[in-house]
Amino acid sequence: MSSLLKLPLVVILLTGAAVGARAQTGRTLTGTSNAEYISREMDKGRGRGGAVVTTGSPYLLPAWTQGNVLTTRGRVPQAWLKYDLAEDGRLLWRRAPADSLELSAADVQEFSLGDPAQGGPFVFRQYPAAQKLKRASRNPFFEVRYDADRTGLLRQRTRMLVQKGTSPSLATRPSNVWQETTAYYLKQPDNTLQPIRLSEKAVLAALSPTHTAALTQYIAQQQLDLAQEADLIKLLTYYNTL
C-alpha cells in the first residue's frame, strides 16, 4: 500500500485543495494575507507625519478558527481557517503555526467557521446562479442567513481599507480603517438570486404577489420590522409554509 493511502482523509483532501490553490495563486501565503499591503502603505507614511496606524481587520474573525470545509473531494472537519473579507473573499487554511495556504474557490463548495461565542457558526456557500449577477464583487461565497426549499436570505460582507482624514495623499494620513459594507440577496424558488434591500416594500415586491395579502397581514400581526434581518427571516419562514 502506498504511503498516500495511509494518510488521514483530512490531509489528503486539504492537500489536494492546497495544490489547486498554489496553481491558482502561484505563491504560498504565510501569516496575515494583507500584511504586505498594509506594510507598504505604512512605509509611504514614514517621513511624512509618521507611520500609518491601521485599525480593524480584513478577516471575518481575527484569530484562526476551527471549521468544516466541503470540497469537491469530500468534507473536511476541524480545519483551522481564516476568511478574508477583502481581496475577493479568500479562504486560508493553516497547515502549521507559520504556514498558511489560500484554498482555491474552485475546490471549495461550502465552509463554516466560528462558534456561538463569536456569533457563529458562520456558513458560506457557493450558488451557481450567482454567476448571472452583475456584482462589483468577485467573491463567489455567500453567507447563508436562511435557506429553505422555496426561498432564502443570503448576504455578502466586504471590507475595504479606507483612508481616514481629509488629505488627498495616503502618505500624509495618520490612520486607516477597515470598513465593512453589506449586501443582501433573496434566493428565489428557481434558485436565482435577487439583490434586495431590507425594507417591507422591497421584500413584498420580490416575493410572489399571490401571497402579498397574507404576508402583509402577518407583518402587522407579528409587528415585524423588515429592516431587521431577524424579522425578515421570520417572514421568509412563514412564507415557505404558504
Q: What is the pLDDT of residue 200?
A: 96
Q: What is the pLDDT of residue 119?
A: 79
Task: For residue 177, list its beta bridge partners.
Answer: 55, 162
Domain ranges across the chain: 4-196, 198-242
Q: Which amino acid is at 218?
A: Y
Nearest to 146 by CA among 233, 57, 241: 233
What was the pLDDT predicted at 9? 45
Predicted confidence at residue 57, as pLDDT, reads 87
Q: Which residues of the chain have pLDDT under 50?
A: 1-12, 19, 21-33, 35, 38-39, 41-49
pLDDT at 4: 36
Tell me the three cell numbers of residue 65.
478558527
SS3 per-residue string spanning 151-212: CEEEEEEEEEEEECCCCCCHHHCCEEEEEEEEEEEEECCCCCEEEECCCHHHHHHHCCHHHH
